[in-house]
Amino acid sequence: MSFTTIARSKTEPYWEGSFGHPFIKELQKGSLDEKIFRYYLIQDDYYLMHFSRLYQLVGDKADDQYLKDLLYTNAHDLKIGEQAIREVFFDQLGIDPNASSHTKIAPTAYHYVSHMYRQLSESNAAIAAASLLPCAWLYHDIGEQLIKQGSPTPIYQQWIETYATEEATQKLNSECQVLNRHYDNSSLEDQQKMVNAFVISSQMEYAFWEMAYTFETWPEGNLDYVNTIQY
């Protein structure tokens, strides 16, 4: 079986679960609390800044010219596409363009980005690229599904339309094809690492909706306990 077939078979609870998450269901219905969407956008701004950088860095690491060019193209397209649209959303909702720089980054956003940087530092380019794939793939699938009914809320409809494009489909197919080829030519150990990297990213994608929906923050700790410690 191909890498993408194996990887997707291991992520159904998170992949299919994303379609049923209240964030996605309410976004389509138009009932998603705007405060939740604002929190999501700010955390996603931090994520996309690093995601774009990771495309570039993984491309730098790649020996395969086709994979290298694909990742560089993704970095470029992300800046003029998804990141640019986020700027429009920020403007429409009156969000400070620099909000992510002075907002506490939620644990899920931080851990997701850290996971991908770890693949970059510890693994080869194909494994690192495998950790990047779920983001584009899942959002594409969500866009394709939600566009069938759309959303009555204009900004949520814009969000859906961002991912339901023929261009996105073509780019995703190319990315899947090149990673399938690398998987076929990899050792059993590296094949497992590619799958593991993909699965963790898929888990983090699901957690991202929950992070936004619950306004996830870091735990405060327990100073009362600290004050009882005898030194």
Q: Any idea which residues carry the catalytic annotation? A: 135, 205
Contact (CB, 8 A) for 29 and 147: no
Q: What is the DSSP annotation of the chain?
A: --HHHHHHHT-HHHHHHHHHSHHHHHHHHT-S-HHHHHHHHHHHHHHHHHHHHHHHHHHHH--SHHHHHHHHHHHHHHHHTHHHHHHHHHHHHT--TTGGGSSPPPHHHHHHHHHHHHHHHHS-HHHHHHHHHHHHHHHHHHHHHHTTT--SSHHHHHHHHHH--HHHHHHHHHHHHHHHHHHHTS-HHHHHHHHHHHHHHHHHHHHHHHHHHTT-------HHHHTT---
